Amino acid sequence: MALLQISEPAASPVPHERRLAVGIDLGTTNSLVATVRNGIPVVLPDDQGRPLLPSIVRYRDEARGVDVGYAAEALQARDPQNTIVSVKRFMGRGLADFTDDRRFPYRFIDEPGMVRLATRAGIKSPVEVSAEILRALSVRATLSLGGELAGVVVTVPAYFDDAQRQATKDAAKLAGLNVLRLLNEPTAAAIAYGLDNAAEGTYAVYDLGGGTFDISILTLSRGVFEVLATNGDSALGGDDFDHRVYCWMIETAGIAPHSAEDTRLLMLKAREAKENLTLHPNATIVATLSTGDRVDLTLTADTFTAITRTLVAKTLTPLKRALRDAQLTPFDIKGVVMVGGATRMPQIQKAVGEFFGQPPLTNLDPDQVVALGAAIQANVLAGNRSPGEDWLLLDVIPLSLGLETMGGLVEKVVPRNSTIPVARSQEFTTFKDGQTAMAIHVVQGEREKVPDCRSLARFELRGIPPMVAGAARIRVTFQVDADGLLAVSAREETSGIEAAVTVKPSYGLSDSDIAGMLQDSFTHAANDMVARALAEAQVEADMLVAATRAALTADNDLLSDEERAAIVKAMDAVVAAREGSDQRAISAGTKALNQVTGDFAARRMDRGVARALTGRRVDALT
């Protein structure tokens, strides 16, 4: 039975006139999807009421597809090389970007461009892995909202560079999503706080997620959200706190993991200990390795604080830089918004409180606040702005953009913390007599030398009229769109010769790569449907067998020997079918077990009702 659609008298009575849009927080540890319902942003849970989706993808063999979320999480210690966690840390990055790739249990393929991972289903890029997570969230949203999505806003760390942003957009495109905007995570959090709390003033957003750290300074005034400065570290997050606990465990127990499975198991135990210490003074760590070595340790809150002190300090350095860029002091900040599950750690909250001289704001769930803000932005961009709802978002570019000049130096054209969208131009000239071409190398970063910055693109301007050195006037224009993505053009002013490039970072995927992956997804759609049906049948079988066993234990006396034997036989048949890959056989076995237990279930219900009524008066039941 469908619920009635109720509208205000002045509102449109046609539900489908509202475009369906969602915000997605693609996180390192967990991801979420949210939307706006009746003017209120809400996170969309899965069919079991869970708001979070673990950002974990497990690859089975090519024909059987993938597990995403909780199903993959349950098997990560048993199948670590094919179960990808924290993939966000690999987005737009090559193997050279990792200081210690040995901490990861994966088989890395160091190809030109973005690092790849070898799995039993083939070689996968971080973009493909992230697309699986985004696809799962898209399915959740479509089922929850009852229609196709008109568009999404996907959040990214404020300190993601152009390559990482492009990789994120590629992943969304591969997942079949229409990206309305890439939105910086701290800005999304500020939107949620600003509209939810009607806040005005200057705020700091301290965002410590599983794999990245951002700090943004924003002003909120009369519906205008203006980012004054942003800073951070795209390789610092809760995962690094887990790794410190892992190293402490290895050193304290005097053991050395002998397999990827051991490493993943201990990392899981490290994360559990970290989370337990949020609410308790100590955490017990117990694990048995494949070698038979046993770990039995107790980690105290004081020890945890001591071994992670340098990580906490690493978050304060970008914070100081952001304040300096915004020309503010800690005392100018009205409130500090905490974002990301890692901000629940007591030592983080203490350090932030001491730095700003005030307790941080924690009245919104730090795991959900980014998704809620993204949902608000998505709702507006989709054209669902309510009457009287008037606000403006002014975000900034996190890292400077510039060109390589003589001597391998960087000439910055668009300085960091410039409000986007932005267009900036600068004139350059030739350095040789008769020079008719110029190679233009676009870089991003704050260092002065090209090798210390990230290369984004190269292109050439040809056809320059021969002139003496320094006579040509070449105007180079940088344009950064609202997603923080870049296009560069060059024009020789006297002749009108032009060249341009839409920056497609070497760490991203080409359009042909994405088209090929999309074609692959269509090609394997039938196999994916079969794999999904098999998985659903297996889950249903497992649940029915578990319930039947529990019922036999509790009310065995309600059955005759013949009935009990028939139930056990049917249950064994389901278990045997469950081990195979025939979805129809599993479903048939499940149906047979349901039929043979029908009378048993009725008797159990009668007994339950009788127990509930025992000792109660008739008039008390009316």
Active-site choice (25, 73, 214, 483): 25
Residue of 175, 139, 140 lying closest to 154 (CA atoms): 175
Burial class of residue 426, CB neighbours in 10 A (0-12, 13-18, 19+): middle
Active site residue 504: no
Active-site choice (46, 207, 226, 239): 207
**Cα–Cα dist 556/299, whole Å:** 45
Name the strands in the sheet holding 335-339, side by side, starting at the edge strand that comes first in the sequence.
Answer: 335-339, 201-208, 213-221, 224-233, 392-396, 419-420
Active-site choice (161, 185, 240, 367): 185
383 by DSSP, 3-state: which? Answer: coil
User: Long-range CB contacts (< 8 A, 24+ apart) of 581-586?
Assistant: 581/64, 581/534, 583/530, 583/533, 583/534, 583/537, 586/534, 586/537, 586/538, 586/540, 586/541
Active-site choice (67, 79, 88, 169): 88
b/e sequence 453-473, b meaning 16+ C-beta within 10 Å: bbbbbebebeebeebeeeebe
8 Å CB contact between 225 and 190: yes
Residue of 302, 311, 307, 315 lying closest to 207 (CA atoms): 315
Active site residue 185: yes
Active site residue 207: yes
Q: For the beta carbon of residue 354, count every other beta carbon within 10 angstroms.
A: 11
For residue 30, list its beta bridge partners: 54
Active site residue 88: yes
Listed in order, strand segments (DSSP E) in 381-436 are 392-396, 401-405, 409-414, 419-420, 422-428
Find the angle CA(578)-CA(584)-CA(589) to the nearest 5 degrees. 55
Q: What type of residue is 583?
A: Q
Catalytic residues: 25, 88, 185, 207
